């Protein structure tokens, strides 16, 4: 006669099934590149914030076309960008602060690699990667020269062959812009593979994952693991940066 399972056994099975199910995670790549002009400017602080004029570039499609891709509504994206930037000391111009020092330009969308297989020998396949420079720049920025570990370079090169969603935040000198000059100060790039998710689902993770690095140069690419809810809403906890174990984790928001 087979014995009935005890309550403890049932509880163990339930806990095990919950652990196996887990919460799906999103791997976000973050890198922030500075120009020589940008390095001359100190990042904002709580006592000395920076004010900016926003320019919404909006949705972009780059590389091989993804058929049926849905454009997200821009208003929630712009609001989340403004909220996240404010946490880092960047505020939109207002009647109380009408003189900005920065022009911030926002873009989001997808970029897919454009790769063609060439050659006739199956044992020695060759390929042409037409937009490799753009894909590698999205993941590595200006940090590739700092990557002295093979697995870091491999992560960038492999990630460059994925279809990816992205958010770009570019900071320009406002005074120069008024004189019709483009003086780039820094650019933050956040991206993640687009397979199995939608842009609506991942944009909160892209923005929140990159937020702590806005206006702060990254010495090497950061890979941030964040949970993503199946309903398309991302609840952001404390980001975990890998594989650079020496990188500082962002401080939790003070309540």
The pLDDT tens digits for 127-136 are: 899 999 999 9
Yes or no: say if 111 and 164 are a contact pair by the CB < 8 Å rule. Answer: yes
Predicted TM-score of the model (pTM): 0.78
- Show the DSSP H helices in the chain as ranges: 7-21, 36-39, 74-87, 132-140, 150-159, 174-178, 199-210
Write the DSSP symbol of residue 216: S
Domain ranges of the chain: 23-242
Q: pLDDT tens digits for 194-220?
A: 999 999 999 999 999 999 999 999 998
Q: How far apart are CA 10 and CA 32, in angstroms?
A: 49
Contacts 24+ apart (CB under 8 A), 238-243: 239/208, 239/209, 239/212, 243/149, 243/151, 243/152, 243/155
68-79 average pLDDT score = 95
pLDDT for residue 19 is more than 90 = no
Q: What is the largest CA-CA distance in the chain?
A: 88
Nearest CA to 185 among 79, 70, 36? 36
Strand 50-63, strand 90-92: pairing: parallel
Asked whether residue 145 carries a pLDDT value surpassing 60, the answer given is yes
**Sign of the dihedral through C-alpha 151, 156, 161, 164:** positive
* Phi and psi at residue 191, to the nearest 5°: -150, 165
Phi, psi angle pair for 208, to nearest 5°: -70, -35
């Amino acid at each position: 006669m087979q014995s009935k399972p005890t309550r403890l056994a049932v509880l163990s099975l339930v806990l095990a099934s919950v652990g196996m199910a887990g919460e799906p995670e999103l791997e976000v790549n973050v890198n922030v590149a500075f120009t020589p002009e940008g390095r001359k400017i100190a990042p904002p602080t709580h006592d000395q914030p920076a004010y900016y004029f926003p320019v919404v570039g909006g949705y972009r499609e780059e590389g091989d076309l993804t058929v049926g891709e849905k454009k997200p509504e821009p208003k929630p994206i712009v609001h989340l960008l403004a909220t996240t930037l404010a946490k880092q000391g960047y505020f939109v111009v207002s009647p109380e602060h009408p003189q900005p020092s920065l022009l911030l330009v926002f873009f989001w969308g997808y970029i897919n690699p454009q790769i063609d297989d060439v050659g006739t020998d199956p044992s020695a396949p060759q390929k042409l990667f037409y937009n490799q420079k753009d894909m590698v720049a999205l993941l590595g920025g200006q940090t590739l020269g700092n990557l002295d570990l093979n697995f870091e370079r491999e992560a960038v090169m492999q990630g460059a062959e994925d279809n990816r969603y992205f958010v770009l935040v570019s900071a320009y000198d406002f005074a120069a812009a008024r004189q019709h000059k483009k003086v780039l100060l820094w650019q933050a790039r956040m991206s993640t593979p687009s397979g199995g998710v939608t842009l609506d689902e991942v944009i909160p993770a892209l923005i929140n994952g990159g937020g702590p690095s806005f206006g702060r140069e990254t010495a090497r690419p950061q890979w941030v693991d964040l949970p993503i809810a199946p309903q398309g809403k991302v609840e952001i906890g404390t980001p975990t940066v890998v594989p650079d174990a020496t990188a500082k984790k962002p401080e939790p928001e003070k309540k």
